[in-house]
Structure 1
Amino acid sequence: MNNQTLHAARSIHPTSALRWLMLAMALSLPVLGQAKVQMLDRIVAVVNDGAIMASELDERINVIALQFQDKGQQLPPPAIMREQVLDRMITERVQLQLAERAGIKVDDASLNQAMSGIARQNGMTLEDFAAAMREDGYDWNQFREQIREDMIISRLQQRSVASRIRITDREVDRFLGSEMGKQMFEEDFRLGHILIRVPGGASPEDVQAAQSKAQDVENRLAGGEDFQQVAVSVSDGPKALEGGDLGWRPAAQWPSLFSEAALSLQKGEISAPIRSGAGFHILKMIDRRGGAEKVVTQYQVRHVLIKTDALTNSEQAHAQAQRLHDQIASGQSEFAPVAAEHSDDPGSARNGGELGWVNRGEMVPEFEDMMLNTPTGELSPVFETQYGWHFLRVDDIRDTDMSDEFRRMQATQALQKRRFEEELETWIQEKRGESYVDIRL
């Protein structure tokens, strides 16, 4: 999970199961004339003190090509494809380097939990999923490492961006009373997106050139050109290679710049270019639907948290959490007294680690992912979030009618998501601008 959390509570965002299956397929493709390819391998980009090799770029292009093939979409011209894919890889590499310097890692237990979730999406256990891939000749280790990198990037983004976002009760009240807040529970949007980027410190001439390009794109779309194909060929947005499809989201969870423009768009309509600090955006209303769910699923969760501090480093905290986990798993100790005595979350520790009924979106992504993927009554593996090392147990699951409290939580989550995405795009551009990038394509 580029984008994307750990705002108030969840997901890792491993993308769709299909993506990972196609990725696994691409990673397993045989390379003809392998010895010759190795001899001719060369650097296509230098990113700070690292490099991206031509073989890595070709491998990623194979993955994207398979995704296009599966969707029945036409591939963009090879030169544009290489530029788009390399640009994405550079952005990923910058973030992975930042994560390494910050000591952000994903241990095997957390990775296995994510892999189990992907396997379940395909109706298999993790062991069956791995065995099926190996039987077909797929490289399981490379598949795992790609997912690990996505999780690392997600943690970096959450630590660097989401942890700084604070939403006040007054903001929530004002939002719920606004027209957008009222529509939040009435309608979802699925938007297409094209970005014509304007780099930081651009001259007036550069801005004018970008605006002219955006206007030309709008004219092409108005003339009947396919939005997805145009997005693939010209967009600088994070979903360019997916045809600019940003997926479904409640109206209020879009960045305010998008939601305000999208409110008046009907299905199939395209907006005029919209200016932001990142450049010029063009939106397409792919679809819209009404009605938020009236019933939500809640999870009764308890956990133990071991924090790091001046006297306890990450390895020591991890070891202590694992020791306590094993005591409970083996039956030597009960969860509640262990949490009461050892957990560093004072609010839940006094209640034996009990967090009460938790909704989706209330916890940071690593925690929520564990919560969603841990069978009821079983202990999760030990895992790390921005707060320290945890393990948890889901005691019960229930469906409940949407309440005022839930509406406030949804509003808070929407505001956090909106602000996170606005800040994330700026942060990524800043970090990339601070990096040494030498493209040798």
Structure 2
Amino acid sequence: MAMINKKLLHLTPSLREHFFTVFLSLFIVSMMLLLLIPRGFAANKLDQIAAVANNDVVMLSEVHTQAKQLRNQQEYARLPQQALLKKALDLLILDKLQTQYAQKMGIVIDDAMLDSTMQRIARQNHMTLEQFRSAVKREGLDYKTFRESIRQRIVVSQLRKGYRQSNAINEKLAIDDLITNQSRLLSKNISYKFQHLLFPQKKYSRLPELKALKQQANKIRQRIIQGEDLLSFPNAQAHNNWVSATTLSPSFLRTINTLEKGQLSTLFHNEQGFHLLKLIDKQGDQQHA
């Protein structure tokens, strides 16, 4: 369990809670199954299930392969065999759960990317891929199983990378919320007339699609700066009646408070897509703390 806790420190609290909930439900079953692992398990015998991880299984052969890899690491070199098998099983269950979660998040490592990674690993060891495959087999490991374990590690790495980025975004959003709350307090008597241009995104847009949409929006922004009418573009709206600051969304309020009359905003983004605002007029006395 200590190793699992250490690995989970890299994940967000909600993701850690998800994995711990599932892991604890598997723990007793996996411990019972672990006791059934024969000490002299032979590779040519019928493979058996060591544990179940949601809709996936951990096979005894996987446990022994993982244990062999751990045995080559200094911190596990003197660990008793049953304790080593327990560590291997813990790691495999965690990897399976993380891989399943990553797949739900759309993180998939295809064969081409995996083959490229295997070739890089071989080159780092000054071998051809064929020589590396033979070296893996000489260590008593099944190459296909080893290859899939590398795929899982890449998937989990991508998952953790995504959540580190998510944490950074969440920290930025917390700062933005603080700024918005202060802006709302200072602007509660202010109203605006403005123009709004939306560049809508699809409900489940991926990063390349968002980048393309942002590039398109920036091109249109330049056209507006050069003299084209913002209202001539699709999804444009004119708010010719006074709009109170208290009715604006946080992202709109943060942006519009930075504008002078007649000024066009930079692009900003929310769950609807990318936006441009042009401030037409502003009224009301701003309160200063």
Shorter chain as normaliser: what TM range? 0.3 to 0.5
* Structure showing greater Rg: 2
TM-score of the pair, normalised by structure 2: 0.41
* Structure of greater relative contact order (alpha carbons < 8 Å, 6+ residues apart): 1
